[in-house]
A and B are shown apart, each in its own frame.
Chain A
Amino acid sequence: MFKKILIANRGEIAVRVIRACHEMGIAAVAVYSDVDRAALHVRKADEAYAIGAAAAAESYLNIGKILEVARRSGAEAIHPGYGFLSENARFAQACVDAGVKFIGPTAAAMDAMGSKTRARQAMERAGVPLVPGTSRGLESIQQAEEVAARIGYPVMLKAAAGGGGKGMRLVHAPDQLKSSLEAAGSEAERSFGDSEVYIEKAIVNPRHVEMQVLADEHGNTLYLGERECSLQRRHQKVLEEAPSPIVDADMRRRMGEVAVRVAQAANYTNAGTVEFLVDQQKNFYFLEMNTRLQVEHPVTELVTGLDLVHLQIRIAAGEKLPFMQEEVSIRGHAMECRIYAEDPDNNYFPSPGKITLLLAPSGPGIRRDSGMYEGWTVPMDYDPLLAKLIGYGTDREQAIARLTRALSEYFVGGIKTNISLFRRILSDADFRAAKLDTGFLDRLLKQKQDGEKADQKEDAQAQVAAIAAGIFAGLGVSAAAAGERANGGSEEKVQPAARWKSASRREALR
């Protein structure tokens, strides 16, 4: 087993991996950019190295600097987390060349999955169900028109190198095809340096369901059940759950077996995720494979009882998977909310800044993977994911109830977060009935304009706020000591705190 692992990431995922390292008796090496010196992952690591300026290209995406830290620290392996270098085949290869184990798939497996058109070709050969369309880039508008007419409108244009919704266009009718094709191509060129665009039949109101796979380096590939990820905003996942409410044991087995075939077709090793679109008749189609640990991996961990990061590290160290497919079982239900620093009242615009107050939930069935702390200033330079709040219960209803309860305990002051959005989602009747598809969240957010101002605020609550505001003012809160009975005659209780304060001031002066 490794003695020391470098984590080439930041935020909650870096903390998550550091924790796994410590649980396994492995030393954890953090890297940080100039604006992340005070970040939580630096505090939790055993060693920490500065790797440059805030811009990711100068730090978290800088292969040379990260490998230099691996050399200096003596780390034997690198965990890339998600995002940044996690799906960069060049980085995976550079690790091999530097004699450091990359905790993830090989560069070749990433390459096979990195281009969506090449992945489609490989999957076609492996007999994996695909959304009808082309498995090669479109060569002309005439070809696009022919294919679209054959598979039927609406169609989706997609960038071969794409991801995150960039270079994607939904086309409803032939007369929009030409302009959409040009727009998708130029956006793909700008975003990925590759203008290749292909065409697929657009599945109306699909669900997005993905299958977790694990493959060791001895030819064993297993599936760990699915995650429902239909709740998305601008093609970014917002809330995920496991199991999917529409997947039964038979469908899980069929999807799982396809996912294993997908992974094997690419000689895949380590943890990966095979994404599927599911139509209203529950037909599922291969969408793409994510060659990394997913943000939403905790929901799978809770319902399978497995620790995916431990297993990733064991696989990378050359161990065999310690269980068989028949031993994997799904128990209970888990759901994850991605807590972002963004402003629900300002079109979910990022809201970096200082966290002045943080009250974190806990209790039965609650897991919190967080990268923030009170007093920390959220930098403006990176993805605004602050934490993941995950609820677990015997069934979906209890998971929702626990998560709802935990959200009401969660308070992040000083910056805006999307916590209120989850309260809305979890109380929505369609959500509770599990009537989900990828358009769900957009529809919910549209309703918002009408109902929101009325937002369960009551007159009685406003009166409570008025009294509280007066008491805060009356106490001169900043001067008052915590724990003080904020009532009359408390002078002697203030004293110890005051003495402690003056003592600490004296200490600081010495």
Chain B
Amino acid sequence: MVYDVTIDGKSYRLELERAEGGWACRLDGREIEVDAVLARPDVLSLRIGNKAYEIKSEHVGSDWHVWVGSARFASEVRDPRSLRSRARAADDQGPKKLTAPMPGKVVRVLVKEGDEVEAGAGVLVVEAMKMQNEIKSPKKGTIQKMLAAEGVAVNAGDVLAIVE
């Protein structure tokens, strides 16, 4: 298998083959001796040479984090043969969704459909655990759709508005 792995924004090419008693592994062409035990779902005991690591896998919404000890790395793995991952690069243009970062209640809607917003401008306010959090526009544009209303309960990942 060949993977394009992105760790904290940096890309690696990883070649992995199951081999006798371990993995044959090449990272950016460099051969590395790897031995892995899945201790339980989401926890990997990894040996690289004789160094031992406890690795945790964490999914939060659409993000994937791989933890090496206490250090967190934003991770992505793509199979370069798949067409889908190639299409993803063009994603930055076009409409952007604003999603709820946590479950909570919409306490204020600061703009309405059709309003122009700057990047970083407050769009709505979500309250959770008695604290208010302003959800900001990820880009300069127009509010194409406002899907949230004041007083409505939302779950993490719910689409609240779309900026075009």
Name A333-372 residues within 8 Å CB distance of B: 341, 346, 349-353, 356-357, 359
Q: In the complex, which residue of chain B has the Cβ closest to the Cβ of A350? A: B129
Query: Is B39 among interface residues, defined by CB-CB distance under 8 A?
Result: yes
Q: Considering the chains assembled together, what is the distance between the CA atoms of A86 and B14 in angstroms?
A: 57
Shortest CB-to-CB span from B43 to chain A, Å, is: 7
Name A437-494 residues within 8 Å CB distance of B: 455-457, 461-475, 477-478, 480-489
Q: What chain A residues lie within 8 Å of B1 (beta carbons)?
A: 470, 474
Q: Considering the chains assembled together, what is the distance between the CA atoms of A470 and B40 in angstroms?
A: 17
Query: Which of B3, B37, B130 is the one whose CB lies under 8 Å from A473?
Result: B3
Q: Considering the chains assembled together, what is the distance between the CA atoms of A467 and B71 in angstroms?
A: 15
* A469-B5 in contact given A463-B27, A464-B48 (Cβ < 8 Å): yes
Instruction: State whether A471 touches B58 (Cβ < 8 A).
Output: no
Q: Considering the chains assembled together, what is the distance between the CA atoms of A130 and B56 in angstroms?
A: 51
Q: Considering the chains assembled together, what is the distance between the CA atoms of A353 and B158 in angstroms?
A: 13
Q: Considering the chains assembled together, what is the distance between the CA atoms of A455 and B46 in angstroms?
A: 22
Query: Which of B41, B68, B131 is the one whose CB lies under 8 Å from A477?
Result: B41
Q: B1-19 vs A: 1/0 string, CB under 8 Å?
A: 1010101101010101011
Q: B30-42 vs A: 1/0 string, CB under 8 Å?
A: 0010111111111
* A467-B41 in contact given A353-B103, A411-B56, A474-B16 (Cβ < 8 Å): no
Query: Is B25 among interface residues, defined by CB-CB distance under 8 A?
Result: yes
Instruction: State whether A464 touches B55 (Cβ < 8 A).
Output: yes
Q: Considering the chains assembled together, what is the distance between the CA atoms of A468 and B130 in angstroms?
A: 38
Q: In the complex, which residue of chain A has the Cβ closest to the Cβ of B132? A: A349
Q: What chain A residues lie within 8 Å of B59 (beta carbons)?
A: 356, 414
Shortest CB-to-CB span from A435 to chain B, Å, is: 25
Count of residues in B whose CB is under 8 Å from the partner chain: 59
Query: Is B146 among interface residues, defined by CB-CB distance under 8 A?
Result: no
Q: What chain A residues lie within 8 Å of B34 (beta carbons)?
A: 467, 471
Query: Which of A353, A455, A488 is the one whose CB lies under 8 Å from B71?
Result: A455
Q: Considering the chains assembled together, what is the distance between the CA atoms of A357 and B39 in angstroms?
A: 13
Query: Is B70 among interface residues, defined by CB-CB distance under 8 A?
Result: yes
Shortest CB-to-CB span from B28 to chain A, Å, is: 9
Query: Is A121 among interface residues, defined by CB-CB distance under 8 A?
Result: no
Q: What chain B residues lie within 8 Å of A384 (beta carbons)?
A: 129
Chain A CB count within 10 A is highest, among B27, B57, B129, for B129
Q: A381-405 vs B: 1/0 string, CB under 8 Å?
A: 1111000000000000000000000
Instruction: State whether A470 touches B37 (Cβ < 8 A).
Output: no
Q: Considering the chains assembled together, what is the distance between the CA atoms of A117 and B48 in angstroms?
A: 64
Instruction: State whether B40 touches A483 (Cβ < 8 A).
Output: yes
Query: Which of B46, B56, B64 is the one whose CB lies under 8 Å from A467?
Result: B46
Instruction: State whether A349 touches B133 (Cβ < 8 A).
Output: yes
Shortest CB-to-CB span from A52 to chain B, Å, is: 18
Q: What chain A residues lie within 8 Å of B60 (beta carbons)?
A: 353, 414-415
Shortest CB-to-CB span from B29 to chain A, Å, is: 13
Shortest CB-to-CB span from A135 to chain B, Å, is: 32
Query: Is B91 among interface residues, defined by CB-CB distance under 8 A?
Result: no
Interface size range on A against B: 35 or more
Instruction: State whether A382 touches B129 (Cβ < 8 A).
Output: yes
Shortest CB-to-CB span from B64 to chain A, Å, is: 8
Q: Considering the chains assembled together, what is the distance between the CA atoms of A455 and B69 in angstroms?
A: 13
Instruction: State whether B58 touches A357 (Cβ < 8 A).
Output: yes
Q: Considering the chains assembled together, what is the distance between the CA atoms of A383 and B129 in angstroms?
A: 6
Q: In the complex, which residue of chain A has the Cβ closest to the Cβ of B129? A: A350
Q: Considering the chains assembled together, what is the distance between the CA atoms of A175 and B101 in angstroms?
A: 42
Q: What chain B residues lie within 8 Å of A383 (beta carbons)?
A: 129
Q: What chain A residues lie within 8 Å of B32 (beta carbons)?
A: 467
* A462-B36 in contact given A380-B129, A471-B46 (Cβ < 8 Å): no
Instruction: State whether B42 touches A413 (Cβ < 8 A).
Output: yes
Instruction: State whether A350 touches B23 (Cβ < 8 A).
Output: no
Shortest CB-to-CB span from A10 to chain B, Å, is: 14
Instruction: State whether B12 touches A350 (Cβ < 8 A).
Output: no
Q: What chain B residues lie within 8 Å of A489 (beta carbons)?
A: 18, 20-21
Q: In the complex, which residue of chain B has the Cβ closest to the Cβ of A381? A: B129
Instruction: State whether B40 touches A477 (Cβ < 8 A).
Output: no
B binding-site residues for A, Cβ under 8 Å = 1, 3, 5, 7-8, 10, 12, 14, 16, 18-23, 25, 27, 32, 34-44, 46, 48, 53, 55-60, 64, 66-71, 73, 75-77, 101-104, 128-131, 133, 156
A binding-site residues for B, Cβ under 8 Å = 341, 346, 349-353, 356-357, 359, 380-384, 407-408, 411, 413-415, 420, 423, 455-457, 461-475, 477-478, 480-489
In the assembled complex, 7 residue pairs joining A and B whose CB atoms fall closer than 8 Å, in A order, are A357-B57, A382-B129, A414-B60, A462-B73, A469-B77, A487-B21, A487-B37
A-B complex: 6 closest residue pairs judged by Cβ atoms? A350-B129, A488-B18, A482-B40, A465-B73, A413-B58, A380-B128
A462-B8, A471-B36, A473-B3 given; 8 more Cβ-contact pairs under 8 Å:
A359-B56, A423-B70, A463-B7, A466-B7, A469-B14, A470-B1, A470-B14, A470-B77
